[in-house]
Structure 1
Amino acid sequence: MRDPRLLAKPPVCRLGCLVLVRNRRGDVLLVDPDYMDGMILPGGAARPNEPPHLAAARHLRADTGLHLRLTAYAAVDFTPADRYLERLNLVFHGGTVRDDVCLTVSPRRKSGLLGARFVPENDIPSHMAPAQAARVLEALAGGSLPVLLHGQRTT
């Protein structure tokens, strides 16, 4: 049964779906958006009713050309409203890729990205805004939680 009161005024919150990918040396994949100072994890907002792990995989593929299956969370980060709406950022474990993996970044006019590259873990704070760097370092330090869809592990 649907209660119309619950759907009358849904909360306004953006769901960010990010992916933490490392190469065999342990470097972290970052993208460089033209609309922000500093680099960020690949990813973006989920569409309405889109499962977050599929949104993260979609953005990763569009940003870098990588096709990865995402089955575990590395971190969950709530960011209160500032110049953007409040948002919940889900960081997914993207696993480890070969050091020589080929990244494919669409032209800037289409992607809004200046590029993508792997950054050594120790250099992350110098390439990212402080809150972004803190999110990545916490995700690297933590364990993982399974991704569930209606209470079942995704496959």
Structure 2
Amino acid sequence: MRDPRLLAKPPVCRLGCLALVRNLRGDVLLVDPDYLDGMILPGGAARPNEPPHLAAARHLHHDTGLTLNLTAVLAVDFTPADRHLERLALVFDGGTVTTERLTVAPRHRSALLGARFVPVRRLPDTMAPAQAARLAEALSGRSLPLLQLGQRAA
């Protein structure tokens, strides 16, 4: 039985869905949004009721042209409310790609200045401190299985 009080005023939390993709040299794929200083992992917000791994894959494809199956969570990062709503960011393992050919949508459609693979040693110089710290944790080699309704997501 559903309690209507639970849905009367659901909590507000944005869900960020990010993809960690590396090339054969181990460099990390980052995008350069025109609205931030520094580069970030490709990804974005999930739509209502959209599975987070599919949201990350959708944003990755839109931002870079890459189509990847994302099946493991590498990091979960909570950011308390400040000038934005509180946020929960999930970093998914996009694995290693053999191509460096990226298709970045025009800036007026994507708000991106570009995308490129960045060597791991350059990440702290390329990203905001909180973004670099999140990425360092994601690169630690640990992962969690991705579950949907208690079952491994495909």
Shorter chain as normaliser: what TM range?
Answer: over 0.9
Q: Secondary structure at the match of 1:110?
A: helix
Q: CA offsets, 1:2-39, max 9 Å, x none? A: 21110011111000000000001000000000011100
What is the root-mean-square deviation in Å for CA atoms of aligned residues? 0.7
Q: Could you say which residue in structure 1 is the equivalent of 2:17?
A: 17
Larger deviation, residues 140-149 vs 14-23: 140-149
- Structure 2 Cα separation of the partners of residues 71 and 142 of structure 1: 15
Q: Runs ≥4 in structure 1, deviation > 3 angstroms?
A: none
Amino acid at match of 1:70: L
How many residues align structurally? 154
Do structure 1's residue 64 and structure 2's residue 64 form an aligned pair? yes
Larger deviation, residues 55-64 vs 137-146: 137-146
Counterpart mapping for 1:2-151 below 5 A: 2-98=2-98, 100-151=99-150
* TM-score, with structure 2 as normaliser: 0.98
- Structure 2 Cα separation of the partners of residues 83 and 118 of structure 1: 30
Listed as ranges, the gaps of 5+ residues in structure 2 are: none
Q: Secondary structure at the match of 1:60?
A: helix
Q: CA offsets, 1:90-141, max 9 Å, x none? A: 000000001x431000000110000000000000010100000000011001
Please tell me whether the aligned partners of residues 57 and 70 of structure 1 are also in contact (alpha carbons under 8 angstroms). Answer: yes
Please tell me whether the aligned partners of residues 21 and 93 of structure 1 are also in contact (alpha carbons under 8 angstroms). Answer: yes
- Structure 1 Cα separation of the partners of residues 37 and 7 of structure 2: 37
* TM-score, with structure 1 as normaliser: 0.97
Percent identity of paired positions between Structure 1 and Structure 2? 77
